[in-house]
Structure formats: C-alpha cells, structure tokens
Amino acid sequence: MENKTPVTLIKIGGNIIDNPTELSQFLSDFSKIEGYKILVHGGGKSATKMAESIGLVPQIIDGRRITDAAMLDVVVMIYAGQINKNIVAQLQANSTNAMGFSGADGNLIQSDKRNHPTINYGFVGDVKKVNTQLLETLLSNGIVPVFCAITHDGKGQLLNTNADTIASELAIALSEVFDVTLNYCFEKPGVLFDAEDDSSVIENINQELYSKLKAEKAIHSGMIPKLDNCFNSLTKGVQKIKIGHHRMLQDMTALYTTITL
C-alpha cells in the first residue's frame, strides 16, 4: 500500500474567532504545524451582531441558521470578508503563506441549495463537490488554504454552508489522495460526559457509545451534527479525527477526544 502524504485539516469554532487572544494563540499554534494543512472557520457571533445592528432578526432552527437574501449579504460580508481576511493576515504575520477562499473561488466547493420537506432554510447549501485537483495544486505550491463557510451552486448563487460540514467534506475528498487528520478545535477540551465539567473528557468515542450518550441526552444540540460529520468522514476514508481545545495542537499533555468507528 502506497504511503500517502499527510494533510492536517482543522476547523475552528466561533468562540475562538470571537476571542482575539485565543484566535492569536491558535493561529500561532496552527502556523507551527509542519507539512500540508488547511483551515476552515465558522463565523462566530459577528454575523449575528452585524445583522442585529441593521435591524435583521437572526433565525436559527436546530443549530442551523436560516439565511434569507438580506442575511446572506451579511454572512458573505462577515465570513468571506472580515473574518477570513483577518485570519489570512494574521497567518502571514506568522510566516504562513495563507490564501483565503470561499467555495466559489476556483470552483473549490460546489453545493446544492438545501431542499427540506418542512423548513425553508433559504440560501443554505449542502456540499456536492470538492475540487480536489486544485486543492492538490495549492498545497503542493506551499499555499495554506483558509476556507470560510460560504460555497456556491455553480449557477451564480452564493450559499451559507455549515463550517463543520465543509471541513468533513474537504477531509473526505482529500482522503482519496492524502492521509487526512481532521481536527475540530473549539473552546472545550473535548466531548464531555458532563457539559459543565471540563475534566469529564471522553477520550475515545465510537458509534456505539455515541448512540448510547445521545439516547441519554448526555450529548445534545450543536455537538450532534459535529459528531455525525465525524462518523460520516471515518466511514469515507478519513484516517483520524480529534475534537478538543486548540492547545492539543502543540501541548502533548492536553486532553482531547478521539473519534473511532
């Protein structure tokens, strides 16, 4: 079996983005990772704050943002503009040659507009296709891609797309060519038995334990789509998945959760 080149793919959560000190430390840690790497980021609270400042009322159902035309303008401006370019600039300051992308750039991620039987999500996309060939070219030329949570439908329409899912779909697509490790970094040290106790990290979670904890409602809300994405990725070729605080990237003693089948 041929050895594939390793790729580290990291998705950072909004709570890191919302905290300038945490973000600065994370980007410093991320810059120290050797080899090919990709960063995916969400939007934090900035889009909600901007929307409210111009009189829009954000709607979220089951952790997913409803995106009408006015809200789409806001999330494109904040995600693909302010946040993405701020991250790219800070990575350049850390001697990491980053380049910021939406899914529309280079046709890197194409999505279908979500079609739900009962909920109109508006301009929300579900990933359909990843341009692995262009990603390979970027990585092999020393570029570190930084993806925001915006994709497109190939017909001129931008779509708001869940960043956890983008990270998962990128990891799956790249796993055909690379040995991919997917890391979900957020403000907690991992998946917890008790959401109020940061020391209750589940160091390894498989599908059987996940089903049990979900049934007991020990795992709920935003962690469910994140873990669903993890298990989907593992069944489709991704080699290794970790969830935890970003300190796990450089601190060998840090706790985190490993996801296994």
The predicted pLDDT at position 2 comes to: 66
The predicted pLDDT at position 161 comes to: 95
- The tens digit of pLDDT for each residue in 27-36 reads 999 999 999 9
Mean pLDDT within 228-236: 93
Query: Backbone phi, then psi, for 66, in 5-degree steps?
Result: -80, 130
For residue 169, is pLDDT > 60? Answer: yes
The predicted pLDDT at position 30 comes to: 96
Query: Do 195 and 210 meet the contact criterion of CB atoms below 8 Å apart?
Result: no
**Cα 252 from chain centroid (whole Å):** 23
The predicted pLDDT at position 103 comes to: 98
- 252: DSSP letter: T
Given the structure tokens 């790729």, which residue do they identify? Answer: 7
Mean pLDDT within 146-172: 97
- Sign of the C-alpha dihedral computed for residues 197, 47, 16 and 146 taken in this order: positive
pTM, whole model, 2 decimals? 0.94
CB neighbour list of residue 25: distance below 8 Å, 6 or more residues apart: 246
Six token digits for residue 14 = 């909004």
Given the structure tokens 């996309």, which residue do they identify? Answer: 125
- 192: DSSP letter: B
Q: What is the share, in percent, of the chain residues with pLDDT greater than 90?
A: 79
Closest CA to 143 of 115, 206, 101: 101
Six token digits for residue 18 = 């919302």
Of the two residues 1 and 174, the one the predictor is more confident about is 174
Band of pLDDT at residue 226, cut at 50, 70 and 90: confident
CATH no., domain 6-259: 3.40.1160.10
- The tens digit of pLDDT for each residue in 57-95 reads 888 887 677 999 999 999 999 999 999 999 999 999 999
Mean pLDDT within 199-212: 93
How long is the chain?
261
Mean pLDDT within 153-159: 98
Q: Which helix (H) or strand (E) holds 101?
A: strand 98-101
Q: Which residues contribute to the annotated binding site?
A: 43-44, 65, 160
The predicted pLDDT at position 96 comes to: 98
Report the distance separating Cα 96 and Cα 145, nearest Å: 10
Report the distance separating Cα 83 and Cα 23, nearest Å: 11
CB neighbour list of residue 179: distance below 8 Å, 6 or more residues apart: 3, 4, 5, 6, 7, 239
Band of pLDDT at residue 206, cut at 50, 70 and 90: very high
The predicted pLDDT at position 60 comes to: 81
Mean pLDDT within 5-18: 94
Determine whether 54 is exposed, middle or buried from the number of CB atoms within 10 Å of its CB (0-12, 13-18, 19+): exposed
Q: Where are the domains of the chain?
A: 6-259
Closest CA to 74 of 99, 61, 57, 90: 57
Q: Which helix (H) or strand (E) holds 14?
A: helix 14-17
The predicted pLDDT at position 241 comes to: 96
Of the two residues 186 and 140, the one the predictor is more confident about is 140
Six token digits for residue 116 = 């739900």
The predicted pLDDT at position 61 comes to: 80
Mean per-residue pLDDT of the chain: 93
Q: Which residues contribute to the annotated binding site for substrate?
A: 43-44, 65, 160
